[in-house]
Amino acid sequence: QKEVEQDPGPLSVPEGAIVSLNCTYSNSAFQYFMWYRQYSRKGPELLMYTYSSGNKEDGRFTAQVDKSSKYISLFIRDSQPSDSATYLCAMSGNTGGFKTIFGAGTRLFVKA
């Protein structure tokens, strides 16, 4: 079983929709949770970073962490065609030297 599970999609939504992206994980030692956005033929770029449980908001993006359920989410409000990309969840903690474990990524298409 993978340590981090992420639905690969693709997920196709109309412009302006609210998008929900999710990951589940199995290792309770994870403490740091990240979302990366990767455009085609580019490297991933850090979008959101959260420590432990709770919510974090940055503009149109909200990251949620529920450690009791081992479940993290990224919400995108008022989605735009420029949000079309692959979104990777990632997490690390006091295990294996704080190595970061990545999900496989969800491909998102926002249609104009």
Partner 1 sequence: EADIYQTPRYLVIGTGKKITLECSQTMGHDKMYWYQQDPGMELHLIHYSYGVNSTEKGDLSSESTVSRIRTEHFPLTLESARPSHTSQYLCASTTRKGSGNEQFFGPGTRLTVL
Binding residues (CB under 8 A) for partner 1: these are 2, 4, 8, 31-32, 34, 36, 41-46, 49, 51, 88, 92, 97-105
CB of 99 to partner 1, least distance (A): 6
Do 21 and 36 meet the contact criterion of CB atoms below 8 Å apart?
Answer: no
Is 4 strand, coil or helix? strand
Which of 60, 107 has the CB closer to partner 1? 107
Which of 57, 78 has the CB closer to partner 1? 57
Which of 13, 101 has the CB closer to partner 1? 101
**Which stretches of 1-112 are DSSP H helices?**
none
Which are the contacts of 24, defined by CB distance < 8 A and separation ≥ 6? 4, 5, 70, 71, 72
CB of 12 to partner 1, least distance (A): 16
CB of 76 to partner 1, least distance (A): 20
Do 95 and 26 meet the contact criterion of CB atoms below 8 Å apart?
Answer: no
